[in-house]
Structure 1
């Protein structure tokens, strides 16, 4: 007989594995933050003439994260049985990642790669970028993202078996907390501590021309951190933790005075059909079977269309604020404030989406209380495991609406008041937190439905579809903003004035040395289109389909 436990709580015997997953996902978030955020930001802020075409070329470095499903069956099927199915990949991949990070950091410090970015820290140059090779940067950071994506495949699969079934939904919490910490370390926190303006404004009495941390120094530190985590995995972890914990004996409290054995259940993805999972052909065949499942096809379609509604707000709102004069140091502060909210409230979000039986709707008390509220029921329907995802969708729509208002209300004189700064913080917190709510909700659902026999491949497929759903609309959104924008170019010392519908503003500023005046900002039109499409999709299709998917039996998601 199993002792009574508060539903949805993290089991004490799973705490070491939970903290290990956080550290693994944190390590994964370091290259993600650098490639997705820091390097493009530095390219554009330190060299204004950097074209968006160059930034588009560098964005190719992030492609391995969306293409990892191609080699995930190899990661799932090839391994050393003595080391373990997941540790066989995590250990060498993290060692190589740490080495690449350290070498790349050393090259940046010496000015061999990304020349000029660390000049102020080494008393050389004038703090501007020199002849930066975008192709070299793309290759190096693409390699880092490739290694990061490979590690993600193995860690996603390990999360399905390293935690007991009663704590399995907390794998998404570990992923959210770890990735957010790693991403914030490499993007927001790093940019703040790398900025001389931020350091001089908030910490220094005597201003200096550099910040606290250089890019090369941070990358060398990250490489050492990778190696330390890997050494811990080698000497302090096992592939199957239940060897240490099963069975456990509780004090006698039965009628005959005998002690009770507590059975701790784990998914057996590493032992079921072991002779088959070692075959790459078998894994790829199962991969095709997964794609043929009607439930998976429906979920994939939802992933492909659901994030379109938020793309204008999440891709362009901060850029519009910076364009209008909002300082990057102040913008970094707004994101820094977000970090504790992500960590603290992420824990409670996963409890919200947890249930003793993964495919059963939430508790009767919650279901009855929600059903009595007609407004809540109209918005998200009956309570279930994907209820947080539905609330997160609506919250991100609200953040998109507020985003247009924040940009529109930017002070024309450029002086940022305390009330406006708080408004920017609130808008960012709302969008970021609701994004986390959706991420945890859908990640917990992925963990519930994924077949443990195909753990890494199945999880990687679902997560890749989710990631790609937020990637493919970006080019369309940015093009629409440009298409709907009308600006006026005034050429100095002449009477010539050009009005352009769309097109590049760089032609005015760089070729004609003119000044640009925006007559119609395409950001507002594009954001309105995204919000309208989002509302139509949500109430016309998404809510109904999500409620259906969360009610399906576990057999609807299995192919083995």
Structure 2
């Protein structure tokens, strides 16, 4: 089913007119047309696959296509702002009229939403393991530098733009454009989880000796999950009807978060010996959980293969070549305002990166139980869902970057407070008062993060050009995700680099002070303990790295992000378009 009705430019009258419905708002002019895509409510990651079935006339301002190559970061003139405001107000009137004609969601769309939630859940399970629970388990045996090596497994999800054109344009028509990739990817994901389950004893018993194999296996797991995500995102565009297309991001949020938290929060709690003993339940082993998830993955794949059909899409072969999609990506990156946006994304998250990568690990090191951390995150989960809904309302105006900019300040403030919490962390057992404060701190910090995510997703949805499908959206989301991924390795390495620890060994009538860099890691501490020594940390690198990150974050926010974001937000939509080949 086509994502939207094909229209010929010859149908458009020469006069200025407006058309709007629940799915989009189109402002048409005799020189072209501007398509402002819907702002998606709960948007965990913007839909990133191709909209090749859409046939839309080129949207460019009056003049030649080559004029777009010289676009600068300039604000709208007063006349343009007045005209745009009048046009949007007129469009709102038509939107209200059409909104009265909306009907209840069809059973077909409800079935499609259920399928999407399940597919995103399968994707979230390995992500929750690789990005959540496994690093916490490994922290007991690895240094922060070694954890930095394992953190490289996060990269495929941030770099899926590199192979998304192949997924979008290569498939077997007999199986289906999206199922050609979803089915094999899920079979590989299930097989990899079975492999890890069968070798978990060898890999996790002494992870320092197997760190590269662990990193390779989980990197592969995330790689195939990211590939499945590309195909599922594209399928969402044709599974749902046009009037309910905005619910694709809602399905993604529910499914992905549910799978992620099952592998992170729920598993960490059930895997804890203290939690199992307290509640009188058997401890959930990693191997058992992985086998269950692999069976779930195989079961859904079997059902998808034999009981779910994929509708055909009308595709133009000339637009489906891999080389043409890569050329489109390059043309987008040549736009000067896109380059400014990429720079902004690439460094925007450094300010709170130490907080996100290390703070939770430091709290566990100070005595916070893994099951306590799981409870905190579990309580935080429903608040983020509600926060995403309200943030979507806030970002629905003509300034979607406003909440994104505003939320930087509380995120930086919470990063500073988190550093203080680690510094003054009380000796266990924790009081109910401190634990309650920790929950409130986590919830508010998560809300600020959710507001930022929804705001930037709304902006990406607004400026992306449907003429070139999801390629534009995938490009923007790639740099957003990469901005939170690439600093993590250097942050974790920096904690060990700035840390100084000594192993103090006391003898009968004297004290022998031995400098040991291995005292930084948990393994080094165990060695020191074996020789009846005590590890003393003179300088904790976490505080140095946290100070560096926050200082850079404040300066970059004030001198680059705020002025650049305001300029980018004020640009008319057509300035983000590229010339068709």
Aligned to 1:310: 352
Aligned to 1:432: 446
Aligned counterparts of 1:11 and 1:525: Cα–Cα separation in 2: 55
Contact 1:169 1:354 in 2 (8 A): no
Contact 1:488 1:516 in 2 (8 A): yes
TM superposition shift of 1:385: 1.9
| Correspondence for 2:343 among 264, 286, 301 | 301
Change (3 A) 1:447 1:453: same
Equivalent position SS for 2:425: coil
Contact 1:116 1:129 in 2 (8 A): yes
- Give me the TM-score of the superposition, normalised by structure 2: 0.73
Equivalent position SS for 2:537: strand
| Correspondence for 2:513 among 497, 500, 510 | 497
Task: Please give the per-residue CA displacement for 1:160-213, whole angstroms capped at 9, x wherever unaligned.
Answer: 454456555544333333222111111111111122211221x22xxx7x51x3
Aligned counterparts of 1:530 and 1:417: Cα–Cα separation in 2: 31
Aligned counterparts of 2:169 and 2:178: Cα–Cα separation in 1: 10
Contact 2:144 2:492 in 1 (8 A): no
Change (3 A) 1:165 1:215: same
| Correspondence for 2:249 among 165, 168, 172 | 172
Q: Output aligned runs, 1:34-73, within 5 Å.
A: 34-45=129-140, 48=141, 50-52=142-144, 54-73=146-165
Equivalent position SS for 2:139: helix
Aligned to 2:192: 100
TM superposition shift of 1:237: 5.5
Which stretch of the first structure deviates more once superposed, 510-519 or 459-468?
Answer: 510-519
RMSD of aligned alpha carbons: 3.3
Q: Output aligned runs, 1:176-195, within 5 Å.
A: 176-195=253-272
Moved over 6 A (4+): 499-503
Change (3 A) 1:321 1:55: closer
Change (3 A) 1:97 1:504: closer
Contact 2:500 2:517 in 1 (8 A): yes
TM superposition shift of 1:314: 0.9
TM superposition shift of 1:26: 1.8
Contact 2:502 2:516 in 1 (8 A): yes
TM superposition shift of 1:466: 1.4
Contact 2:145 2:493 in 1 (8 A): no
Task: Please give the per-residue CA displacement for 1:282-312, whole angstroms capped at 9, x wherever unaligned.
Answer: 1121121122122322221111110000111
User: Are 2:259 and 1:215 aligned?
Assistant: no
Change (3 A) 1:101 1:353: same
Contact 2:465 2:472 in 1 (8 A): yes
TM superposition shift of 1:20: 3.4
Aligned counterparts of 1:538 and 1:271: Cα–Cα separation in 2: 45
Aligned counterparts of 2:500 and 2:195: Cα–Cα separation in 1: 46
Task: Please give the per-residue CA displacement for 1:36-86, whole angstroms capped at 9, x wherever unaligned.
Answer: 2222322333xx3x4445444433433322332222111111123454433
Equivalent position SS for 1:223: helix
Change (3 A) 1:488 1:100: closer
Contact 1:482 1:503 in 2 (8 A): no
| Correspondence for 1:510 among 524, 527, 539 | 527
| Correspondence for 1:26 among 106, 118, 121 | 121
Which stretch of the first structure deviates more once superposed, 229-238 or 283-292?
Answer: 229-238
Change (3 A) 1:394 1:193: same
Aligned counterparts of 1:482 and 1:502: Cα–Cα separation in 2: 10
Q: Output aligned runs, 1:155-170, within 5 Å.
A: 155-163=232-240, 167-170=244-247
User: Are 2:341 and 1:341 aligned?
Assistant: no
Task: Please give the per-residue CA displacement for 1:414-469, whole angstroms capped at 9, x wherever unaligned.
Answer: 33111111111122222223222222222333334334454444333222211211
Aligned to 1:526: 545
TM superposition shift of 1:391: 3.3
Equivalent position SS for 1:490: strand
- Give me the TM-score of the superposition, normalised by structure 1: 0.76
Task: Please give the per-residue CA displacement for 1:385-429, whole angstroms capped at 9, x wherever unaligned.
Answer: 223322332232122122023223322x43311111111112222
Equivalent position SS for 1:471: helix
Aligned counterparts of 1:532 and 1:103: Cα–Cα separation in 2: 44
Aligned to 2:575: 556
Change (3 A) 1:307 1:164: farther
Task: Please give the per-residue CA displacement for 1:69-115, whole angstroms capped at 9, x wherever unaligned.
Answer: 2221111111234544333322332233234334543x2xxxx4433
Aligned counterparts of 1:544 and 1:10: Cα–Cα separation in 2: 43
Aligned to 2:419: 404
Contact 2:148 2:489 in 1 (8 A): no
Aligned counterparts of 1:166 and 1:401: Cα–Cα separation in 2: 44
Unaligned runs of at least 5 residues, structure 1: 118-127, 244-269, 356-360, 362-383
Aligned residues: 478
Contact 1:157 1:457 in 2 (8 A): no
Aligned counterparts of 1:222 and 1:501: Cα–Cα separation in 2: 39
Aligned counterparts of 1:541 and 1:524: Cα–Cα separation in 2: 25
Change (3 A) 1:289 1:513: farther
Aligned counterparts of 1:528 and 1:430: Cα–Cα separation in 2: 21
Unaligned runs of at least 5 residues, structure 2: 1-19, 22-95
Contact 1:169 1:350 in 2 (8 A): no
Task: Please give the per-residue CA displacement for 1:211-252, whole angstroms capped at 9, x wherever unaligned.
Answer: 1x3222222222232234335545665655xx9xxxxxxxxx
Task: Please give the per-residue CA displacement for 1:262-285, whole angstroms capped at 9, x wherever unaligned.
Answer: xxxxxxxx647x222321111121
Change (3 A) 1:53 1:487: closer
Q: Output aligned runs, 1:72-221, within 5 Å.
A: 72-81=164-173, 83-105=175-197, 107=198, 112-115=199-202, 133-163=210-240, 167-201=244-278, 203-204=279-280, 210-211=282-283, 213-221=284-292
Change (3 A) 1:186 1:59: same
